[in-house]
Amino acid sequence: MPDYCDTRSASVDSASAWIAWSGTDSSTIWSVWIQGTAGAYTPPSEAELAQQKAERERRDEERKKADERAEALLLAHLTPDQRETLERMRHFVVQSERGRVYRLRRGRLANVDEMDKGRVVAQYCIHPSIYNIPEADSLLAQKLMLEMNEEQFLRIANRTAVAA
């Protein structure tokens, strides 16, 4: 066993144990950190900052266009009543292939409510595995799945029962 691990020695304190273990004392580490001699941080230049800002603005513009296209596609697949309800109340109602009624709300988490006589009886959380798709694309996918393949929707979605 190395000397610095021998706790029976009265001459061993935590500082000397650290030096023995690390091969250096904390003042050396501190001076390297303060002086920045070990992997010093260099702030980005004005040109790099401008390039980063331009890239961020380009991505934001692409995202905005994608959101607009997704919203137009969703609205094209809704009935006039569904569109009006979505614009006014931020949700729309869908009847499944089996006759069940679901309310799809704006949002990404647990945004599908199963309705029975106007009451929510369960909430479902189901969304595409791609995390950054437009919200409207996710709503359209949920709508089409409920209308065309409710069984698969129910198999995949996480269900939370709502107390009566």
Average model confidence (pLDDT) across the chain: 84
Closest Cα partner for 57 from 49, 47, 45, 46?
A: 49
- pLDDT number for residue 7: 45
With cut-offs at 50, 70 and 90, classify the pLDDT of residue 87.
very high
Q: CA–CA separation, 45 vs 58, rounded Å?
A: 20
pLDDT single digits (tens) 26-38: 566 666 666 655 5
Q: Contact 162/124 with Cβ under 8 angstroms?
A: no
How many whole angstroms separate alpha carbon 92 and alpha carbon 50? 43
Stretch among 1-15, 42-56, 94-108 having the lowest mean pLDDT = 1-15
Whether the predicted pLDDT of 50 surpasses 70: yes
Better-predicted residue by pLDDT, 52 or 30: 52
State yes or no: pLDDT of 153 exceeds 60: yes
* CA dist., res. 4 & res. 135, Å (int): 60
Which residue did the predictor score with more confidence, 17 or 100? Answer: 100
Burial class of residue 14, CB neighbours in 10 A (0-12, 13-18, 19+): exposed
Contact between 152 and 145 under an 8 Å Cβ cutoff? The reply is yes
Strands 91-95 and 119-125: unpaired
| 95-99-101-107 Cα dihedral, nearest 10 degrees | -50
Q: Is there a contact between 64 and 70 (Cβ–Cβ < 8 Å)?
A: no
CA dihedral 63, 65, 70, 75 (to 10 degrees): 140
The model's pTM: 0.70
Q: Is the model's pLDDT at 10 over the cut of 50?
A: no
- Angle, vertex CA 26, rays to CA 24 and CA 30, nearest 5: 115
Which pLDDT score, from 0 to 100, does residue 22 have?
A: 56
